[in-house]
Structure 1
Amino acid sequence: MGALNATPKPARTSKAVFAAAGSPYFSTVLALMGAVVILSNIGASKGVAFGPLITDGGFFLFPLAYILGDVISEVYGFKAARRSILVTFGLAIFSVLAFWVMIALPSADFYDGQDALERTLGPIWRIVFASILGFLVGQMANAWVLVKLKERFGERGLIGRLIGSSGVGEFLDTLIFCSIAASVIGISTAGEFMNYVVVGFVYKTGVEIIFVPLTSLVIRWFKRREPGYAQQPTQDGGNRT
């Protein structure tokens, strides 16, 4: 009888809570991410050396894209993060097509910058391909790991999941990007390539770790202002859209 009258256990639900992605806050972060990725793609066409350390001209911008991605993943969930990554992916492709058209247009007689334009933006398609492929894989991995950790631990452990997800995402992103972009910026030896990968990974991950306190403050700022954040989450940890 005791077994028959036992109170049934409630269905297990996700501990994670996410805001709806239809707010102006989400669209603002999405626009910033697109601008950062496009500008970093342009800067990445320049090889940069600080003594023995080798990197590219977009090194100071690209970590910002991951910080913005962390904000979207933590506040709005994996579905919104996936949408933002795909939109940014499309914007990057559009930008390289626009550069191609600019180069192909016939130059006016008074214009003497065609060679410089071709040298700066000519190889950009390979940089963009390297960047968007690395960005796609790295950001997806970053968002997936962050959301899965949030589903497991709820609101606790924000700093830990920011660092953990960033490490996974940045490693995959850096390895893919450097493998394709190295020859474009003039890297030709195995030693230079390893230098490029290690410096890129350590730098990008280090920047994200340094900015984790600021990222946490930004995330809390968004959470306080998103009216839908306190709503119950969906079973799969996604956001209500």
Structure 2
Amino acid sequence: MNQSSQINSYKYLDLVMAAFVAVLIISNIASSAKIVDLGFSLFGIPMAFDGGTLLFPLSYIFGDILTEVYGFRASRRVIWTGFFLLALASLVFFILKRLPPESAWEGYAGTQAYDAILGGMSTGGIALASLAGYWMGEFSNSAVLSRMKVWMQGKHLWMRTIGSTLVGEFVDTAVFVLVASLFGVFGWELFVTLVVTNYLFKCGVEALMTPVTYWVVALLKKHENLDTYDVGVSLNPFKLGLN
């Protein structure tokens, strides 16, 4: 069976991809909707983070599951699918921002509120930051896990999922906050706070969810009759083919 037929024969890949993309888009909208402050500091850094942080770590758990079970090639297709759909969501908000408002809506909600809450999704700020951080972080996570699985001969899944997340989440968080700050979405005074709190929270969620990751991976491997090792597989993210 060739790789294209094999990918199309998977029973649950489409469901994992759908959940992955849903988490991605919802978390990015939440990122521009609200900054959360837990009201305490850790090592002098206020524990404040954007709303998307509550859900976004799940995308890395899905990314780990995709690479561990289906391999880097399938994961690469899903990451690109998420990238283009996130770009589409940003385009929709961009168009909505420029369409004329209805008078009643303008009275009880208004363009000012739309710009304040969803403006980042409709301009270069959150949209570009999300796309850049997501793309670089997810591919870093998937590549690290893929290589670690081959090096470790499939042993110590917890070490691979947490290790790849430490790399991927750092890249994602740093790039996201940097680009968003450059476009004025976040003030520079929040830069260190957002990077540190987002990174610690996301990695903490990954560590806490490790038993769930083990369970889902084992379930999928059993029902798909699959355990992919990316021996000789190119980790080039731009190689959109199936080899």
The TM-score by the shorter chain falls in which range?
0.7 to 0.9
Give the whole-Å Cα distance in 2 for the aligned partners of 1:158 and 1:234: 15
Query: Which residue number in structure 2 is paired with residue 151 of structure 1?
Result: 150
Q: Look up the match of 1:7.
A: none
| Cα distance in structure 1, aligned partners of 2:231 and 2:149 | 13
How high is the TM-score relative to the length of structure 2?
0.83
Q: Which of the numbers 49, 57, 61 marks the counterpart of 2:37? A: 49
Q: Which runs of 4+ in 1 moved over 4 A?
A: 232-235
Q: Which residue of 2 aligns with 1:216?
A: 214
Return 5+ residue gaps in structure 2 as ranges: 40-45, 235-241
Mark the CA change 1:159 to 1:187 in structure 2 (over 3 Å): closer, same or farther. Answer: same
Give how far 1:57 is off: 0.9
Cα drift, residue 172 of structure 1: 0.7
Q: Secondary structure at the match of 2:28?
A: helix
Whole-angstrom distance in 1 between the partners of 2:7 and 2:206: 24
Measured after TM superposition, the shift of residue 128 of structure 1 is: 2.1
Amino acid at match of 1:64: L
Aligned residue runs from structure 1 range 3-22, under 5 A: 20-22=6-8
Render the CA deviation track for 1:141-160: whole Å, top value 9, x for unaligned.
11111111111222211111
Q: State the aligned residue count.
A: 218
Asked if 1:38 is matched to 2:25, the reply is: yes
Structure 2 residue corresponding to 1:117, chosen from 114, 117, 128: 114
Aligned partners of 1:210, 1:233: CA distance in 2, in Å? Answer: 25
**RMSD over equivalenced CA pairs, Å:** 2.1
2:7–2:74 Cα contact (<8 Å) kept: yes
Normalised to the residue count of structure 1, the TM-score between the two structures is 0.83
Bigger RCO of structures 1 and 2 (CA < 8 A, at least 6 apart): 1
Give 1:234 deviation, angstroms: 6.8
| CA distance in 2: counterparts of 1:75 and 1:208, whole angstroms | 17
Distance 1:36 1:93 in 2: 14
**Counterpart in 2 of 1:4?**
none
Q: Work out which of the two has the higher radius of gyration on C-alpha atoms and give 1 or 2.
A: 1
- Could you report, residue by residue, the CA deviation over 1:157-183 in whole angstroms, capped at 9, with x for unpaired residues? 111111111111111111101112236
Residues in 2 aligned to 1:79 and 1:41: alpha-carbon distance in whole angstroms? 25
Which among 195, 199, 212 is matched to residue 201 of structure 1?
A: 199
Gaps of 5+ in 1: 1-18
How many percent identity over aligned positions?
A: 35
The residue number in structure 1 matching 2:178 is: 179
